[in-house]
Amino acid sequence: MIKRMLGITLIAMGISFAVSAQGDYERSIGIRIAPETYYDLFALSYKTFLSDAGAIEFNAGGGTKGYYYTNNRYHPFSLSVSGAYQHHFDIPVQGLKWFVGGGLTAYNAFSGEKRYRGFGFGFFPTGGADYKFPLIPLNLSVDYRPTIFFARPDYYDSFHASNFGISARYVIGGR
């Protein structure tokens, strides 16, 4: 009886995944990794479409600049949030689109030394590519977000040019 119920449940889940994975998507949730970024190295990512072409993406995460002295006196660490609007354009490949847009980011850096510690706030233009696999509920995207900061701790630059990210998200709803 239990094996039969488990089998029916797995078949129903497979059918629902296949149905939700068809065509474009409405929402997705997953992770974004930006290896060269100290304030959002790893972030949770949520993306939702407002229209056929317009989407917003929210990220919440953290990262480190990687400064560890031998006496382990401090380890700078940041927590961050960001939000961006993205306008998507079709590419003649099923599931693939490119996008441009912009957004805001804020972070707080924690450290034992004052010059590394504090609040950062800035804006960024963004651009990239977004791919929704046609048969599975998976979305992958790559993006570039060069960020200009209005507020930041003393040590950090006011322009961060190397913010390249990769996102992998589970698709929640199809269109």
**DSSP calls for 12-75:** HHHHHHHHHTSSSEEEEEEEEE-TT-SS-SEEEEEEEESSSSEEEEEEEEEE------TT----
Burial label, 71 (beta-carbon count in 10 A; 0-12, 13-18, 19+): exposed
Secondary structure class of 173 (helix, strand, coil): strand
What pTM, to 2 d.p., does this model score?
0.81
**For residues 18 and 85, which has the higher predicted lDDT (pLDDT)?**
85
Dihedral over alpha carbons 55, 56, 61, 64 (to 10 degrees): 80
Please say whether the structural domain 2-174 has been given the CATH code 2.40.128.30: no
For the chain, the average pLDDT equals 84
CA 151 – CA 84 distance, rounded (Å): 19
Tens digits of residue pLDDT in 47-93: 999 999 999 999 999 988 655 554 555 667 899 999 999 999 999 99
CA 24 – CA 53 distance, rounded (Å): 11
pLDDT tier at 40, thresholds 50, 70, 90: confident
The predicted pLDDT at position 168 comes to: 98
Burial label, 129 (beta-carbon count in 10 A; 0-12, 13-18, 19+): middle
Residue 117 pLDDT > 50: yes
